[in-house]
Structure 1
């Protein structure tokens, strides 16, 4: 993966990413974080058939692994993030 100049990984960026990954404030209802479904102990994937959604609603898809996600051309099936 080609990294743009000036976008090098630094300790501060690593720590910010980790803080955001575990922060529930990014969810529309502030109830779940990225780590709720992308579990570090499971290679950043989910072992449930359907991952939970916001507002305590059942999910409609499984959370895939985030391994090598930087190489993916899009993140969700419909092409959104």
Structure 2
């Protein structure tokens, strides 16, 4: 598992928008998609992405809720580490 996959997931989950996530991360939108796909493959689960009202808004619904809980915990730990360095 790569740090940037998790970071991408956290930012995409926070913004609920791949385009906005790519802007925040200063990467291309296809890179965001690739990072999410690689994370799914690594974890052996697929995140079901639901389009909500607008084609650019997303909502993550995991196929395995324990996996998403683990990712959320990792994201919180990453956030805590990044803010403690500032």
Query: TM-score interval w.r.t. the shorter chain?
Result: 0.3 to 0.5
TM-score by length of 1: 0.33
Structure with bigger RCO (C-alpha 8 Å, 6+ apart): 2
The structure carrying a bigger strand percent of its residues is 2
TM-score by length of 2: 0.32
Q: Compare CA radii of gyration and give the structure with the larger one.
A: 1
The structure carrying a bigger helix percent of its residues is 2
